């Protein structure tokens, strides 16, 4: 990208955006000085993330994005909210973020990440294995006996697979239930989600704008992004009234009530962790880059420190 | 190789006065063969194109799907815009009609870029990388194979054979990162990735070539060992011809015939890019576009890339057949 005419390029006359598919390649380019900035956590191999913490050029920050699992509530046994709740309560999310994602991701009890100004996401469900076992017993599956064989669907990626394997092991250990893993490539996976051809599916959602509605609107009845088969008139009416509410404080209260219904009572989904954004750049050479919720980094703001000091 | 053979009447080359640079080496009795092969390529290309289009369209998933649900009305409008509406035969008919007119369509993933544009930008990079690797594969594989055959049964042969097996056994996704680690981060002599300078070409072309060096060496060695047992070699040896002259001048030419047959598909394969090498070294070649096109159900991009691959394959197979006939005067490509 080359600066044109009157466009204020922040002192940078040209920016080369390298199209790199592999995290290890991107990181190699950065380490060898061929790239100045890494603007995506996906460009840093997750295995070395723990070693990068504390380095002056490593800049992690929260991101408006959540990794979660969906239940297909049109299929047994997930028609029963007690089963969905039991499965969600048995998950050790810390184990996933500490052993697998390793980027310092905060565990998610609600769908909406913290950090949206004025909005406090609900507390959600904390891990409670005893309660999970009790719920499963009430639903007719004591110690997991008689629980139908279901599968976790995920799109092909090492991270998704590791998380699915961990959740599979946790459910087996804590609840005595067996689940299979079902791996599909991206386009097929999307089709399976759209046609509700799954039992449990991994998902993620990146907020489009700085408001809880960007997450919560997905689960309104028959929304294209619902992809769970879940429909709740109370939830729909809460979202509709939030849309009509001009007072931001009252609006956020309504949205919080809706989210509480979503992640603590009905649970067509269960959140696992919130993503973090990681930038890599040398702060002694670059200015104008700040980790932010929407992961937006306007090029016009990026400046080389030498240029800035010589101005 | 499925070539009808017949003995040449005189085995001589006829040089037409107006022949071009390439054609001067083609004996006149090969012209019918070339014409027939070129004509038979047309239905082959057409069938491959139709089959590829159908396979991508039949595969589950839509090229317009993303994690964000698409409104059905928007989806059908997009399908109409890109000529993917209507029944499958209608779509195939529309697409092949466009291809015949030279229009390969627009990429469905990289909106606003035509397939021709993407191929024109990415193919030359893969071709450059591939030709260096191809030259390395043959340039190193043949001498190493010849050397191993000449030293058959001795320590040199064992070492070379083991090396060839090793290069064949190490997958590129292991070899490429290891070579980056060694040359870029331990020795600091080559860049780890990127495209544009001579230095950036070295590691990827070597990584792409290494498995093929091994297979070329093995093919040459086995071909040469077989030839060295022939009567005419025994006669030459008994006349006192030097071993090096015997191998290089008399035995190598017929011995590389299996290699020539192998080199045709190899050339097409190596020149159309490798996903692993292109990803590890961040080379914007056609290999990545092709594989990602399949993942994204980018039917026009995939079909365009397959068309290029098919053209290259047909061309190099034809060249391999022609070279076979050149190398062995007993072989003629008859009608």
pLDDT (0 to 100) of residue B33:
79
Distance, in angstroms, between A183 CA and closest chain B CA?
A: 14
Answer whether A194 sits within 8 Å of B65, measured CB to CB: yes
Structure confidence by residue, pLDDT tens digits, B29-40: 677 878 888 898
A159, two tokens: 């991270």
Report ipTM (2 d.p.).
0.75
Helix (H, G, I), strand (E, B) or coil at A100: helix
Q: What is the mean pLDDT of residues B158-180?
A: 91
Q: Which of B232, B262, B257, B247 is nearest to B146 (CA)?
A: B247
CB A235 within 8 Å of CB A87? no
Confirm or reject contact between B284 and chain A (CB < 8 A): yes
Distance, in angstroms, between A42 CA and closest chain B CA?
A: 14
Structure confidence by residue, pLDDT tens digits, A234-256: 999 999 999 999 999 999 999 99
A21 interaction partners in chain B (CB closer than 8 Å): 279, 282, 288
Where b means 16+ CB within 10 Å and e means fewer, B85-98 reads eeeeeebbeebeee
| Cα end-to-end distance, chain A, whole Å | 23
pLDDT (0 to 100) of residue B332:
63
Structure confidence by residue, pLDDT tens digits, B249-281: 888 888 888 898 888 888 888 887 788 899 899
CB A3 within 8 Å of CB A293? no
The residue of chain B nearest to residue A21, with distances taken between CA atoms, is B279
Answer whether B69 sits within 8 Å of A25, measured CB to CB: no
Neighbouring C-alpha atoms within 13 Å toward the C-beta of A130: 0
pLDDT (0 to 100) of residue B248:
82
Query: What is the C-alpha radius of gyration for chain B, rounded to an integer number of angstroms?
Result: 24
Torsional sign, CA A186, A191, A194, A200: negative
Neighbours of B17 (CB within 10 A): 4
Confirm or reject contact between B110 and chain A (CB < 8 A): no
What is the CA angle B55-B60-B61, rounded to 5? 115
B30, two tokens: 């090969």
Neighbouring C-alpha atoms within 13 Å toward the C-beta of A23: 16
Helix axes A81-89, A129-138, angle to 10 degrees: 160
Query: What does each of the 311 residues of chain A score in pLDDT, given as a tens digit?
Result: 887 776 665 667 888 888 888 888 999 999 988 899 998 878 888 788 888 888 999 998 889 999 999 999 999 899 999 999 999 999 999 999 998 988 889 999 999 999 898 999 999 899 999 999 999 999 999 999 999 999 999 998 888 999 999 999 999 999 999 999 999 999 899 999 999 999 999 999 999 998 999 999 999 998 889 999 999 999 999 999 999 999 999 999 999 999 999 999 999 999 999 998 889 999 999 988 888 888 888 888 888 887 555 44
Helix (H, G, I), strand (E, B) or coil at A113: coil
pLDDT (0 to 100) of residue A9:
57
Torsional sign, CA A6, A8, A13, A16: negative
Answer whether A20 sits within 8 Å of B296, measured CB to CB: no
Res B328 pLDDT > 90? no
Answer whether A227 sits within 8 Å of B69, measured CB to CB: yes
Q: Which residues contact A257 (CB under 8 A, 6 or more apart)?
A: A238
Helix axes A233-244, A248-260, angle to 10 degrees: 170
B172 interaction partners in chain A (CB closer than 8 Å): none
Q: Which of B122, B164, B111 is nearest to B140 (CA)?
A: B164
The residue of chain A nearest to residue B188, with distances taken between CA atoms, is A32
Q: Which of A275-279, B66-70, B189-193, B217-221 has the lowest mean pLDDT?
A: B66-70
Confirm or reject contact between B173 and chain A (CB < 8 A): no
B279 interaction partners in chain A (CB closer than 8 Å): 21-22, 25
Banded pLDDT at B70 (limits 50, 70, 90)? confident
The contacts found for B71-74 with CB under 8 angstroms, 24 or more apart, are: B71/A224
CB B131 within 8 Å of CB B269? no
C-alpha B275/C-alpha B277 separation (Å) is: 6
Helix axes B299-327, B88-100, angle to 10 degrees: 60
The residue of chain B nearest to residue A24, with distances taken between CA atoms, is B280
pLDDT (0 to 100) of residue B23:
44
Answer whether B191 sits within 8 Å of A34, measured CB to CB: yes
| Cα end-to-end distance, chain B, whole Å | 15
Distance, in angstroms, between B188 CA and closest chain A CA?
A: 9
> Which residues of A have a CB under 8 Å from any CB of B?
18-22, 24-26, 28-29, 31-32, 34, 185-188, 190-192, 194, 203-205, 223-225, 227
Return residues 60-79 of B near A (CB < 8 Å): 60-63, 65-71
Mean pLDDT of chain B: 85
Structure confidence by residue, pLDDT tens digits, B149-164: 888 889 999 999 999 9
Count the residues in chain A.
311
pLDDT (0 to 100) of residue B15:
39
**In this structure, are strands A58-71 and A269-280 parallel, antiparallel, or unpaired?**
antiparallel
Q: Find the CB nearest B184 among A21, A32, A203.
A: A32
pLDDT (0 to 100) of residue B118:
94
Answer whether A19 sits within 8 Å of B192, measured CB to CB: no
Distance, in angstroms, between B237 CA and closest chain A CA?
A: 54
Answer whether A188 sits within 8 Å of B288, measured CB to CB: no
Distance, in angstroms, between A253 CA and closest chain B CA?
A: 26
Mutation target for B interface from A17, A23, A25: give the one with most B CBs within 10 A: A25
Structure confidence by residue, pLDDT tens digits, B271-326: 877 888 998 999 988 988 888 899 889 999 999 999 999 999 899 888 888 888 88
Banded pLDDT at B19 (limits 50, 70, 90)? very low
**In this structure, are strands A150-155 and A200-206 parallel, antiparallel, or unpaired?**
parallel
CB A3 within 8 Å of CB A13? yes
Answer whether B184 sits within 8 Å of A28, measured CB to CB: yes
Q: What is the mean pLDDT of residues B25-32?
A: 67
- The CATH code of domain A2-62+277-304 reads 3.40.190.10
Count the residues in chain B.
335
Instruction: Tell me the C-alpha to C-alpha distance, in Å, between residue B295 and each of A186, A302, B66, B311.
Output: 7, 34, 12, 23
C-alpha A176/C-alpha A147 separation (Å) is: 9
The residue of chain A nearest to residue B181, with distances taken between CA atoms, is A28
Mutation target for B interface from A183, A187, A188, A206: give the one with most B CBs within 10 A: A187
Banded pLDDT at B245 (limits 50, 70, 90)? confident
Answer whether A186 sits within 8 Å of B295, measured CB to CB: yes
Extents of the domains making up chain A: 2-62+277-304
B59 interaction partners in chain A (CB closer than 8 Å): 187-188
CB A254 within 8 Å of CB A245? yes
Neighbours of B231 (CB within 10 A): 7
Give residue B164's region: left, alpha or beta (phi > 0; psi -120 to 50).
alpha
Instruction: Tell me the C-alpha to C-alpha distance, in Å, between residue A5 and each of A17, A18, A216, A303, A311.
Output: 20, 24, 43, 18, 20
pLDDT (0 to 100) of residue B326:
81
Structure confidence by residue, pLDDT tens digits, B103-134: 999 999 888 899 999 999 999 999 999 999 99
């Amino acid at each position: 990208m080359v600066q044109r005419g009157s466009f204020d390029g922040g002192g940078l006359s040209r920016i080369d955006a390298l199209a790199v598919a592999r995290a290890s390649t991107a990181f190699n380019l950065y380490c060898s000085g061929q790239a100045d900035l890494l603007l995506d956590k996906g460009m840093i191999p997750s295995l070395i993330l723990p070693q990068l913490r504390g380095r002056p050029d490593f800049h992690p920050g929260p991101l408006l994005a959540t990794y979660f699992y969906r239940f297909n509530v049109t299929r047994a046994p997930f028609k029963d909210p007690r089963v969905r709740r039991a499965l969600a309560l048995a998950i050790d999310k810390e184990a996933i973020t500490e052993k697998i994602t390793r980027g310092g991701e905060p565990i998610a009890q609600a769908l909406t990440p913290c950090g949206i100004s004025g909005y406090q996401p609900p507390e959600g469900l904390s891990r409670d294995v005893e309660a999970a076992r009790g719920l499963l017993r009430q639903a007719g599956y004591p110690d997991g006996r008689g629980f139908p064989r279901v599968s976790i669907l995920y799109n092909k990626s090492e991270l998704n697979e590791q998380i699915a394997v961990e959740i599979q092991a946790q459910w087996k250990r804590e609840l005595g239930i067996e689940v299979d893993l079902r791996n599909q490539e991206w386009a097929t996976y999307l089709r399976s989600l759209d046609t509700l051809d799954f039992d449990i599916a991994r998902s993620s959602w990146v907020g489009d704008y700085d408001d809880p509605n960007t997450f919560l609107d997905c689960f309104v009845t028959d929304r294209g992004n619902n992809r769970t088969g879940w429909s709740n008139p109370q939830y729909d009416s809460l979202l509709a009234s939030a849309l009509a509410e001009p007072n931001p404080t009252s609006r956020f209260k309504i949205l919080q009530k809706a989210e509480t219904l979503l992640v603590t009572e009905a649970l067509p989904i269960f959140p696992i962790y919130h993503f973090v954004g990681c930038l890599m750049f040398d702060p002694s050479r670059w200015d104008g880059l700040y980790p932010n919720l929407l992961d937006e980094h306007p090029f016009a703001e990026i400046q080389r420190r030498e240029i800035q000091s010589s101005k | 190789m499925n070539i009808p053979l017949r003995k040449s009447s005189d085995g001589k080359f006829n040089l037409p006065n107006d022949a071009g640079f390439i054609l001067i080496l083609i004996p006149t009795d090969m012209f019918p063969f070339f014409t027939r092969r070129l004509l038979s390529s047309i239905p082959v290309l057409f069938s491959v194109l139709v089959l590829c289009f159908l396979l991508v369209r039949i595969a589950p998933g839509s090229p317009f799907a993303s994690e964000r649900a698409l409104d059905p009305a928007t989806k059908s409008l997009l399908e109409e815009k890109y000529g993917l509406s209507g029944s499958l035969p209608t779509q195939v008919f529309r697409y092949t009609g466009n291809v015949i007119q030279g229009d390969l369509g627009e990429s469905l993933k990289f909106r606003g870029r035509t397939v021709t544009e993407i191929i024109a930008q990415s193919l030359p990079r893969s071709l450059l990388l591939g030709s260096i690797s191809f030259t390395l594969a043959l340039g190193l594989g043949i001498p190493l194979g010849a050397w191993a055959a000449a030293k058959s049964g001795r320590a040199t042969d064992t070492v070379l054979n083991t090396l060839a097996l090793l290069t064949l056994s190490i997958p590129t996704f292991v070899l490429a990162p290891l070579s980056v680690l060694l040359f870029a981060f331990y020795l600091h002599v080559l860049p780890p990735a990127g495209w544009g300078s001579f230095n950036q070409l070295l590691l990827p072309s070597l990584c792409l070539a290494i498995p093929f060096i091994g297979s070329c060496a093995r093919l040459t060695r086995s071909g040469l060992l077989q030839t060295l047992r022939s009567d005419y070699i025994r006669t030459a040896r008994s006349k006192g011809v030097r071993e090096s002259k015997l191998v290089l001048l008399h035995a190598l030419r017929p011995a590389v015939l299996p290699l020539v047959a192998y080199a045709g598909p190899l050339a097409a394969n190596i020149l159309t890019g490798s996903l692993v090498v292109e990803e590890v070294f961040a080379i914007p070649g056609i290999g990545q576009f092709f594989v990602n096109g399949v993942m994204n159900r980018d039917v026009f991009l995939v079909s365009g890339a397959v068309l290029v691959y098919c053209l290259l394959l047909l061309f190099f197979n034809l060249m391999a057949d022609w070279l076979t006939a050149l190398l062995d005067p007993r072989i003629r490509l008859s009608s």
